[in-house]
A and B are shown apart, each in its own frame.
Chain A
Amino acid sequence: MTRRRPLPPKVRRGLWVACLLAPAAAVMTLFVVVPVLGAFADAFRSFQGPRPTGWVGLANLRDVLFVAPYAAATWRALGHNIVVLLSLMVVQNGLAYLIAFALLKALPGHRVHQVIVFLPVVLSAIVVGILWKLLLNPIFGAVNETLALIGIQGLPWLGDARTALGSIIAANAWHWMGFPALIFLAAMQRIPREALEAARIDGATDRVLLARIIWPLVAPATTIVVVLTFIGSFNWFELPYVMTGLEGSPGGATDVLGLLFYRTAFGAVSSGLEDFGHGSALAVLMFVVVAAVSAVALRVLRAREIEL
């Protein structure tokens, strides 16, 4: 009788890891990889309603990028996504960085403030959207009613092309600011106390401390925050959908790629028809942009990280 030779430890470990990963990989394949590949395939097809009618090569991609009226909508939406990204990066993450520093100082009541800052993050985007839509209502809204008390006539915030996108960005910043604040706070708390105290003894003000000492030392947190903000900004959907509708009202002033994709692919009840081909082409473009820029950003930002 021959005894089976035991497998080498490396192989055994590999098999064990494969067994552990298999369920997650199967779920990912079924619910992420297959739909993504399906969307890729649909981007090269024409459709009649929900039924594919044939392959059209790059025609859908060409239409959404270069052919009127699709192209104008795509570039306008992309421009808005970039505005959202930059605004959130400066307003939301900038304020989050300052709040994190204030919380780091452990002033009286900082624990309550920490909860208050993080509280909106746990709310659903739909709830936040409806809440801010009500607050900004030109007639019943608390914002304009408060302004009226001091003699200022409020604007139709979500109905004016100059203020609509900014209003949604402000709502988004209010909703999410707690998240980068907590990430920054955790990163700041990892900085050795001695380093900060030494800087203080050398006469560093808060401003110097924030810009020259803390900023480089929280680089890993910044990497996470920047990449997540980028992905969030390019997948922006719920807030503009709830606050200004699928058409990105008024007159497309709040239209972003997420809304444009949904509207193009699935149509809108009282206006557009389903167009899965062009919709999938937009989805593929969004996927490629987000994946490529995230990869580059990760590489660049990781290069400036310092090991503490």
Chain B
Amino acid sequence: MRKRLAGLAALLGVFSLGGGVARAENITFWTWRQEDKGAYNKLFAEFTTAHPGIHVRFRAFPPAQYQTIVSTALAGGKGPDVLHTRAYGGLEQLATPGYLVELTPQNDPELANLPASARAALAVRSTGKIYSFAFSSQTLGILVNRQILAAAKVPEPGTWAEFIAACKAIKAAGKICIANGTATGWMDEVLAGDLTGPMLGKQFFKDVVAGKTTFKDPAYTAALGRLLALRPYMPPGYTGIDYPTAQQLFLSGRAAMFIGGSWEIANFRRQNPKLAMDFMAPPAPAANRPRLVSTFYDGGYAVVHASKHQQAALALVRFMGTKTFGDQLGAMLGDVSPIKGVKLADPTLAKVAAMASESVPYIMAVSFRYENPTGSELLQGALQKMFAGSMTPEQVGATVTEGIARYYKPFQGK
């Protein structure tokens, strides 16, 4: 009898071990990008082929509520196994309290595929530890309707003076030159970051981050002041034009240019495939200066610390760090993956990637979105007032500097 029981126990042991090897693991991936569902499910199917037994469930939440939903879930010990995280301050808020697994060269050798700036964007500043794998690099620039430019006999403007002249010609031809309005705060920051980047140059960004200068610097306020010259070329009632209206003006061919970023390319193509759209770098302040684009990282993929399937989740994040994944992300979603050696078949995306190699950081997102009030928060409201004429560029600079000075010592007393 004892022998039979021992045999049964051994058999059960073998079965349970076998079960451990072949047992299916279901892991969940949370994101704010509902529109990417089809592409991600296709990529996850490939992952499952490479990792039999691990199935990934895609779950998307509205972008505006995403961070709140994630925070609440993680604080309650729940949440997914793999998470789409924001970069910079948004990541620190989740990583510092210990909700995410640290990614190291040991558990995620694919980190070596990323440039240093991408690793830094998804790291906690105080420790330098990385918690998320950067998924997309974004480049600020100008989306142009080539057809309108050709009809107005306007070549691509390379300098600020040419840009203003082009707008004048386009307006004379009966079209709106710039689709953007100022009713959506974050788009105002994009517009300002996009166009002031080449005016300020790389040194200004280094100096302001080092605390050698502030946003009261005459160079910064002068650059903001130049933006006011755009007002006659924006849509009528531009202070009431929000982001969706601006998009529609551009997509419907009523406006020649949309000052935005590379994230719009795929979306605009989907909405109007016939649009003769191109992406160009912002104009240089003068003929002898470079047309620098501004760049930042959108976010990354992270493993949740409370996950019961950490190894499977790490395997997925490693898969998302491969060149093959990056290639497909570009091909299917129009995202410019920061993974080294990624091939972009789309000529516009390839152009964007080439522009991004010589760039300045999108300053507020990269350096002043870590504490409240963030530089973005301060700048966005102030820019709306500046475009409406109720604030001067100098007042904008002072508002931003004094707000940031609350937690940023180099700005205090300046």
Contact = CB atoms under 8 A, between A and B. Distances in A.
A274 B186 contact: no
Given A139-B237, A161-B388, A273 B369 contact: yes
A50 B183 contact: no
Interface stretch (A20-28, A151-159, A205-213): A151-159
Given A49-B94, A139-B235, A271 B241 contact: no
Given A137-B245, A247-B185, A269-B186, A50 B237 contact: no
Contacts of A269: 63-64, 66-67, 86, 186
Interface in A154-168: 154-161
B42 interface: no
A244 B89 CA distance: 25
Interface in A241-277: 244-247, 249-252, 264, 266-275
B406 A51 contact: no
A140 interface: yes
B388 A160 contact: yes
Q: Which of A50, A51, A69, A270 has the most CB of B within 10 A?
A: A270
Given A154-B237, A273-B90, A250 B96 contact: no
A51 B388 contact: no
A83 B236 CA distance: 29
Q: Which 4 A-B pairs have the closest CB atoms?
A: A156-B240, A138-B237, A159-B240, A159-B239
Nearest to B67: A267
Given A269-B63, A270-B189, A251 B97 contact: no
A270 B237 contact: no
Interface stretch (B278-286, B341-349, B352-360, B372-380): B372-380
Q: Which of B236, B370, B378 has the most CB of A within 10 A?
A: B236
Interface string B75-118: 10000000000100110111011110000000000000000000
B93 A48 contact: yes
Interface size class of B (residues with CB under 8 A): 35 or more
Contacts, number: 152
Interface of A, helix, strand, loop or mixed by DSSP: loop
Interface of B: 63-68, 71-72, 74-75, 86, 89-90, 92-94, 96-99, 181-186, 189, 235-242, 245, 248-249, 365, 369-374, 376-378, 380-382, 384-385, 388, 390-391, 402-403, 406
B249 A271 contact: no
Contacts of A155: 237, 240
A229 interface: no
B182 A138 contact: no
A48 B372 CA distance: 12
A74 interface: no
A99 interface: no
Contact of B181 (A51, A154, A159, A270): A159
A182 interface: no
B93 A161 contact: no
A275 to B, nearest CB: 5
Contacts of A48: 93, 96-97
Q: Which of B183, B235, B371 has the most CB of A within 10 A?
A: B183
A250 B182 contact: yes
A246 B92 CA distance: 23
B71 A274 contact: yes
A84 interface: no
B183 to A, nearest CB: 5
